């Protein structure tokens, strides 16, 4: 005997954007990008234990760690940081999605993959009826460039 339970997964949605770099450009190794995530309850139920997970979040940087209750139509704001690594500097971009999780009154867990609200592509990667555009931060070119170029001075003697 089996039972099919339909969960309206888009009762919770989350958006993820990077805040502007305090010094004008994200362009250095270990420079911290601060992201703002907004979790919204689109359903008729009060959600509990709302949390964010993000594979590139700096350890312990997700704030707050959780939100106890989120009423219908209410939103909760989270921030997290990510320290730019070498391969991202080489690629000149940081690309990533976060996930929001929450619990319904009946104990079921629901989740959503983040969308970049400034990207109007609105690609629905997980086919749950609402968008999941990845958040892309374009990095500035590093200010310090190491080259192996040899400089040869030719001095003409008369």
Task: Assess 122 for contact with Ca ion (CB under 5 A).
Answer: yes
Q: What share of the chain is helix, strand, coil (3-state, %, to 5)?
A: 5, 35, 60
CA–CA gap between residue 77 and residue 131 (Å, rounded): 19
Dihedral sign computed on CA atoms, order 117, 118, 120, 123: negative
Q: What does the block give as tokens for 144?
A: 């310090």
CA gap 81, 58 in Å, rounded: 6
Tokens of 28: 């250095």
Contact map string, positions 133 to 152, toward Ca ion, x by CB under 5 A:
x-------------------
Part of the chain binding Ca ion (CB under 5 A), chosen from 55-63, 68-76, 130-138, 139-147: 130-138
From candidates 11, 54, 88, 115, binder to Ca ion by CB under 5 A: 115
Query: Min. distance of Cβ 8 from Ca ion in angstroms?
Result: 13
Query: Smallest gap, in angstroms, from Cβ of residue 4 to Ca ion?
Result: 21
Please identify which residue in 53, 63, 85, 126 interacts with Ca ion, judged by CB under 5 A: 126
The site for Ca ion (CB under 5 A) is made up of: 112-113, 115, 119, 122, 124, 126, 128, 130-133
């Amino acid at each position: 005997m089996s039972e099919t339970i339909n969960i309206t997964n888009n009762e919770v949605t989350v958006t993820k954007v990077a805040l502007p770099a305090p010094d004008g450009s994200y362009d250095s190794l270990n420079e911290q990008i601060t992201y703002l995530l907004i979790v919204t309850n689109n359903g008729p139920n009060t959600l509990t234990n709302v949390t964010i997970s993000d594979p590139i979040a700096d350890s312990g940087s997700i704030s707050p760690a959780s939100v106890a209750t989120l009423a219908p139509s209410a939103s909760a704001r989270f921030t997290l940081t990510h320290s730019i690594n070498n391969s991202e500097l080489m690629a000149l971009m940081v690309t990533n999605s976060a996930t929001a999780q929450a619990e319904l009154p009946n104990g079921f867990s629901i989740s959503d993959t983040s969308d970049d609200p400034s990207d109007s592509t609105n690609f629905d990667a997980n086919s749950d009826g609402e968008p999941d555009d990845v958040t892309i931060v374009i990095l500035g070119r590093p200010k310090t460039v190491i080259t192996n170029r040899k400089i040869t001075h030719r001095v003409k003697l008369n």
